[in-house]
Structures are given as structure tokens and as C-alpha cells.
């Protein structure tokens, strides 16, 4: 038998006494034996399924929420008439509804690229993956340049290119 004592002190108006907690090997049966049984395995499976389904639904709800937001912005004649592509109107909208401006742009792109919600990967996609892999603003672009890269100190702006240049091949 294992005996543990918890000492607690006075916290404001409530004072707690020493409490004796006894754990016996009989209380450990749930961790050692129950999960090894068929019922215990079924219980674990059910709990995991609940979490998996909840996460899946949350991802899908987030995507459909942003899709609906993009649809509303694109289709609202009043907003389109008065905003006329003005970035400040979108900034005001983002601030007013409490989301980052980037998410407003992504919501619009999401609706424009997938107006019928026919997302690649179906319902198995997350908002992050949709934005970074499939929306125009998130698509990876290759930039090439024939100029020498410049490395500068963020504080004093000194050019450190020579100090950190890759070694010249012989």
C-alpha cells in the first residue's frame, strides 16, 4: 500500500487540513487490466473516434466558414460598390469582424477558386493546407536572380555578404 500526504495551506478565507490519500494496487486495475480487455479496447476506440470525428468536423467547419465569408464579400453588391477594390475597406472589414486581413483575402480567394466547394482532397483537407497548397497567394513561386545576395545586419545595416559568403570552389 502506498500512502501520500498532501499538505495544503490557508488560501484566503478557506483553510484546508492535511488530507491522507491511500492508493492500493486495487485502484490500479483500470490502467493495467481494463484496457487489455475487449471492453477496454472498445472504450479506447470509441474515445479515439470521438476525437477524430471532432477534429475532422472542426477542420471542415473552418473551411466552410471561410468559404461562406468569401462568398458573402464577393457577392455583396453594397460592399463591392463602395469598396471598389480599396484595400482599406477590406482592412476595416477584417478589423470589424476580428480576423486578420490575410484571412479575409484567403476567404475571397477560396470562394473564387472553389465556388462550388469542390476542394482538392475533399473533406480530408485542412484550412492551412488549402491556403498554403491550393490558393494563389499560397502557391510556391520560384524566384531566380542573377545578382549577388546581400546579407546585412538588422541593427547597424552593415553589409556582411563577404563574411558569410559560401566558400569558392577550387
pLDDT tens string 22-63: 444 454 445 568 888 899 899 999 999 999 999 989 999 999
Q: Please state, in angstroms and as integers, the Cα–Cα distance from residue 35 to each residue in 23, 40, 96, following that order.
A: 19, 4, 50
Q: Looking at the domain assignment, is residue 124 inside a domain?
A: yes
Q: Looking at the domain assignment, is residue 118 inside a domain?
A: yes
Q: What pTM, to 2 d.p., does this model score?
A: 0.59
User: How far apart are alpha carbons 162 and 131 in whole angstroms?
Assistant: 38
Q: What is the mean pLDDT of the chain?
A: 76
Q: Looking at the domain assignment, is residue 156 inside a domain?
A: no
Q: Which domain holds residue 120?
A: 53-134
Q: Which residues of the chain have pLDDT under 70?
A: 1-32, 85, 138-154, 160-170
User: How far apart are alpha carbons 151 and 4 in whole angstroms?
Assistant: 59
Q: Looking at the domain assignment, is residue 101 inside a domain?
A: yes
Domain count, the chain: 1
Going by C-alpha positions, the residue among 29, 45, 55 that lies closest to residue 124 is: 55
Going by C-alpha positions, the residue among 134, 164, 135, 169 that lies closest to residue 151 is: 164
Q: Looking at the domain assignment, is residue 73 inside a domain?
A: yes
Which pLDDT belongs to residue 18?
45
Q: Looking at the domain assignment, is residue 36 inside a domain?
A: no
Amino acid at each position: 500500500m502506498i500512502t501520500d500526504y498532501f499538505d495544503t495551506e490557508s488560501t484566503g478565507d478557506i483553510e484546508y487540513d492535511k488530507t491522507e490519500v491511500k492508493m492500493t494496487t486495487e485502484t490500479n486495475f483500470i490502467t493495467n487490466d481494463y484496457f487489455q480487455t475487449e471492453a477496454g479496447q472498445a472504450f479506447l476506440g470509441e474515445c479515439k473516434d470521438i476525437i477524430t470525428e471532432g477534429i475532422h468536423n472542426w477542420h471542415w467547419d473552418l473551411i466552410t466558414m471561410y468559404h461562406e465569408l468569401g462568398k458573402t464579400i464577393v457577392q455583396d453588391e453594397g460592399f463591392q460598390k463602395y469598396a471598389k477594390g480599396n484595400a482599406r475597406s477590406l482592412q476595416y472589414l477584417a478589423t470589424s469582424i476580428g480576423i486578420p486581413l490575410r484571412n479575409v483575402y484567403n476567404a475571397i480567394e477560396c470562394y473564387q477558386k472553389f465556388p462550388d466547394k469542390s476542394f482538392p482532397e475533399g473533406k480530408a483537407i485542412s484550412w492551412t493546407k488549402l491556403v498554403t497548397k491550393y490558393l494563389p497567394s499560397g502557391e510556391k513561386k520560384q524566384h531566380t536572380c542573377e545578382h549577388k545576395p546581400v546579407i546585412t545586419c538588422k541593427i547597424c545595416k552593415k553589409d556582411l555578404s563577404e563574411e558569410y559568403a559560401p566558400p569558392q570552389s577550387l
